[in-house]
């Protein structure tokens, strides 16, 4: 079904492109999409933006040392703690994964590497070293196999263009740090 919708949104005959800048400057680390909403993830908050009404929702606070994702109809929080260790057998990182407001059902992961989550997911968790003095490395944790593997090179991540899965909403940040929204709207 997702593939059919993606093909439909790629046919220019049916759509006009609505373009507008966001009304205020935003500092954010990541973006994710859910239906007609764009969520801008900052260091202390998540700001939702309704692309149809062109309005921001009230900001939602988040823990400082965390990343946020979407899981079903809820926010998924990946909170991390790095510890100072005295020997290599100790865990140096703990990651707590839970749905917002549901801390009782949390998943706890422990790693010997000093890392922090780059994304927040219950399928594949991307991690990077979290201390600037350490060599920058990237890892992927697979929940099914419960294995952590190093990713060679740098995972490609565009810091200026984001697109939803269907290709119906595009977000661009220009050189002046102005955030532009491109939204496909039916002509009929």
Instruction: Give the integer Cα–Cα distance in Å for 111 and 131.
Output: 14
Q: Indicate if the pLDDT at residue 135 is higher than 90.
A: no
Which tokens hold the place of 16?
Answer: 């006009």
In the chain, how many H helices and how many E strands? 1, 17
Higher-scoring residue by pLDDT: 45, 24: 45
Say what the pLDDT of residue 6 is.
Answer: 64
For the chain, which residues make up each domain, given as ranges? 2-186
pLDDT band of 156, cuts 50, 70, 90: low
Higher-scoring residue by pLDDT: 24, 8: 24
Half-sphere exposure of residue 69, counting CA atoms within 13 Å on the CB side? 17
């Amino acid at each position: 079904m997702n593939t059919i919708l993606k093909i439909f949104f790629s046919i220019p005959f049916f759509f006009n492109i609505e373009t507008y800048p966001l009304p205020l400057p935003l500092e954010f680390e990541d973006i994710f999409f859910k239906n007609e909403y764009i969520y801008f993830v900052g260091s202390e908050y998540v700001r939702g933006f309704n692309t149809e009404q062109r309005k921001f929702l009230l900001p939602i606070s988040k823990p400082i040392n965390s990343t946020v994702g979407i899981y079903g109809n809820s926010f998924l929080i990946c909170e991390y703690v790095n510890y100072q260790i005295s020997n290599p057998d100790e865990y140096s990182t703990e990651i707590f994964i839970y749905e917002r407001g549901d801390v009782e059902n949390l998943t706890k992961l422990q790693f010997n590497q000093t890392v922090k989550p780059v994304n927040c997911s219950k399928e594949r968790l991307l991690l990077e070293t979290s201390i600037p003095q350490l060599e920058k490395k990237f890892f992927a944790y697979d929940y099914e196999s419960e294995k952590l593997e190093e990713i060679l090179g740098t995972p490609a991540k565009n810091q200026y263009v984001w697109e939803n899965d269907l290709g119906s909403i595009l977000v661009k940040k220009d050189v002046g740090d102005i955030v532009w929204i491109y939204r496909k709207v039916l002509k009929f």
